[in-house]
């Protein structure tokens, strides 16, 4: 039962344009959401997070938007750079157990120069 | 230079053999985790430990075992009972539980059964 879904396995954008990565979740009990970035043969690194009490969190070129009614969050990268090319995982936590963090399958972003 | 170290980076195992993956952290984190990544799937939790000498099963613990004798170390043993062990294994740690905090990941171990 995949409770966190990233329906786009890949995304390609031109350098300087906006990248929008999407994530949907099914359980309304999730209350904390994170995005991780992963390069090949490396572990994921934390990128940005958002609590369910907010609908937007911004950190430099990265902004995460949360729509609780739609159970949807998105990561915006503006402007996109070639170094942003990586796999991006969406994650959600808050289901009772302290350690119940669920990950999506990831979206591979390619930023073309 | 704090971080999490996983070794080895690549590991080959014959069918029927047990193999142990190492994970060490010097971040002074209480909690440590093991995840498995398969192509096209998200990270799935195998085991986690919130404190020394205590650990809990995650979603896919069957065929795996762990120990937490030291705060810094959380080794994972892939036993012969694990039916499909070929995967990318990730170790992580955090200051406490994963609620409202991020995890720090190691670079991973790719295990291949030959």
Mutate to test the interface with A, among B30, B31, B37, B68 (most CBs of A within 10 A): B37
Which pLDDT does position B40 carry in this prediction? 77
Give the closest residue to B101 by CA, choosing from A82, A31, A79.
Answer: A31
Which pLDDT does position A83 carry in this prediction? 96
CB A23 within 8 A of CB A105: no
3-state helix, strand, coil in chain A (%, to 5): 5, 55, 45
| CB pairs < 8 Å spanning A and B | 70
Contact A43 B45 (CB under 8 A): no
Which pLDDT does position A57 carry in this prediction? 97
**pLDDT tens-digit map of A11-48:** 999 999 999 999 999 988 888 999 999 998 788 999 99
**Direct distance between the N- and C-terminal alpha carbons of chain B, in angstroms, rounded to an integer:** 36
Which pLDDT does position B73 carry in this prediction? 98
Q: d(Cα A66, Cα A75) in Å, to the nearest integer?
A: 9
Which pLDDT does position A1 carry in this prediction? 62
Q: d(Cα B102, Cα B34) in Å, to the nearest integer?
A: 15
Q: Chain B residue closest to A99 (CA)?
A: B98
> Does pLDDT of A2 surpass 90?
no
Which of B92, B98, B106 is opposite residue A98, by nearest beta carbon?
A: B98
Nearest CA to CA, how far is A88 from chain B (Å)? 11
Output the CA torsion sign for A62, A19, A73, A90.
negative
Q: d(Cα B36, Cα B48) in Å, to the nearest integer?
A: 12
CB proximity list for B84: less than 8 A, separation 6 or greater: none
Q: Counting Cβ atoms within 10 Å, is residue A85 exposed (0-12), middle (13-18) or buried (19+)? A: middle
**pLDDT tens-digit map of B6-42:** 999 999 999 889 999 999 999 999 989 999 999 877 8
Which pLDDT does position B99 carry in this prediction? 67
Which pLDDT does position B60 carry in this prediction? 93
Q: d(Cα B1, Cα B57) in Å, to the nearest integer?
A: 30
Mean pLDDT value of segment B96-103: 73
Nearest CA to CA, how far is A113 from chain B (Å)? 26
Of the listed ranges A2-6, A46-50, B60-64, the least confidently predicted one is A2-6
Angle at B36 between CA A109 and CA A75, to 5 degrees: 30
Q: Band the pLDDT of A50: cuts 50, 70, 90.
A: very high
> Does pLDDT of B98 surpass 80?
no
CB A102 within 8 A of CB A1: no
């Amino acid at each position: 039962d995949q409770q966190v879904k990233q329906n786009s396995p890949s995304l390609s954008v031109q350098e300087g344009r906006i990248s929008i990565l999407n994530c949907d979740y099914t359980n309304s009990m999730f209350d904390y959401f994170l995005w991780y970035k992963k390069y090949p043969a490396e572990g994921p690194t934390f990128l940005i997070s958002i609590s369910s009490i907010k609908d937007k969190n911004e950190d430099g070129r990265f902004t995460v938007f949360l729509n609780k009614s739609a159970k949807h969050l998105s990561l915006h990268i503006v402007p996109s750079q070639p170094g942003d090319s990586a796999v991006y995982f969406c994650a959600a936590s808050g289901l009772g157990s302290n350690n119940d963090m669920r990950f999506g399958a990831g979206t591979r972003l390619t930023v073309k120069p | 230079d704090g971080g999490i170290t996983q070794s080895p980076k690549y590991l080959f195992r014959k069918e029927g053999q047990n193999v142990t993956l190492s994970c060490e952290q010097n971040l002074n984190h209480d909690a440590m985790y093991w995840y498995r990544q398969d192509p096209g799937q998200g990270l799935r939790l195998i085991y986690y430990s919130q404190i020394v000498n205590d650990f809990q099963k995650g979603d896919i613990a069957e065929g795996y075992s762990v120990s937490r004798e030291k705060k810094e170390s959380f080794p994972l043993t892939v036993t012969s009972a694990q039916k499909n062990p070929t995967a990318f294994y990730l170790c992580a740690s955090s200051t406490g539980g994963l609620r409202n905090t991020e995890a720090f990941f190691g670079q991973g171990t790719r295990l291949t059964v030959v």
